[in-house]
Amino acid sequence: MAMNSRFKFNFGRIEYDLSTRTFIMGILNVTPDSFSDGGKYLEPEKAIEHAKRMIEDGADIIDVGGESTRPGSDPVRLEEELQRVVPVIKELSKVVNVPISIDTYKSKVAEAALDAGACVVNDISAMTFDSDMVKVVKKYGASVVLMHIKGTPKNMQENPTYDNVIEEILKYLMDRVNVARDNGIKQIIIDPGIGFGKRFEHNIEIIRNLKVFREIGYPLLVGPSRKSFIGNILNLPPAERVEGTAAAVTACILNGANIVRVHDVKEMKRVAMVADALKSRTNQ
C-alpha cells in the first residue's frame, strides 16, 4: 500500500513535499462555541486578519471550520455552516498564497468551500458521516484528511473503549484509505484523531505509537493543540496550554508527524523547526 516516500502534494498552484519538514496547519474557527477560541473570529474581517497573521507566523495551510466538533457539541444546520465558512474562504483565497482547507464532514459544505477556493477537505469522519463526500472530493480533485473518530462529537467522549486502540485506529484508517483510493482520490492525509472518542490514556498511547500509522504510507497529520489531555496533565484551561502543546507537538514530530494542526502558530512553528533539527534522518 505504501506510496513513494517523497510526499509531493499539489495544492492548486502550490506544491509541498510533506516529507521535507513539519508543515503547520493553522486553525481558523469561525464558530461561536469552539472549545478554545469560539466566538473570536465570527466576523469575516476578523477571521481573514487572523488567517493573514497565522501565515506571517509560519502557517503552511489554513484550516477553516464552521462547526464546533468539541465533545458534546450539537450539529450545526447546513445553511448556518455555509454562511460562516463560504464568505471567509472566498475572500481568503483572493488574498493569501497558501492552501485553504475546509474542516467539515458535510459534502455540500465541502463542495461550496471547494468552489470558493479551498483545495483540502479535512473530514473528522473520514468520509463516513456523509456518503456523498467521496464524490465531491473526487469531482474537485481535492486532497482529503481522513481522521479516526469513535462515535460522533455529541457522544464520542461518553465511554470510549478499545481492545487495542492502536490496532483499531490503524485498521480503520487503512480501510478508509482503500475507499478513497478505490474512488480515484490521490492526495490522502491520515489523522489518528487525538481527543475524538479517546480517553486520556488513549491519546498518550497514540502519540507514543505514531510511527505505526506511517506504515499506511501516507502523510500523517496530528492535532494535539490545547486538547483536554494536556489540560488534565497541567490542570490548566485551554488558553494556558501553550507549553503543554509545545511538548506534545515535539513528541508528535519526533514520532513521525508530517503536519501539526495548531492554534498557536508562531510558537509551534518555532517548536517544529527545533524538533525537525533534532529528528534523525531515519525517522523522517
Catalytic residue among 106, 176, 214, 261: 261
* Residue owning grid cell 474557527: 29
Active site residue 227: yes
DSSP 266-280: HHHHHHHHHHHHHS-
* Pairwise CA distance, residues 21 & 259, whole Å: 9
**And the C-alpha cell for 53?**
497573521
**And the C-alpha cell for 162?**
478499545
* Pairwise CA distance, residues 60 & 62, whole Å: 7
Identify any residues that bridge with 8 across adjacent strands, giving them in sequence order: 17
The one-letter amino acid code at 188 reads I
Sign of CA dihedral 140, 80, 198, 227: positive
* Pairwise CA distance, residues 218 & 100, whole Å: 20
Active site residue 241: no
Catalytic residue among 84, 226, 227, 269: 227
* Enzyme catalytic residues: 227, 261
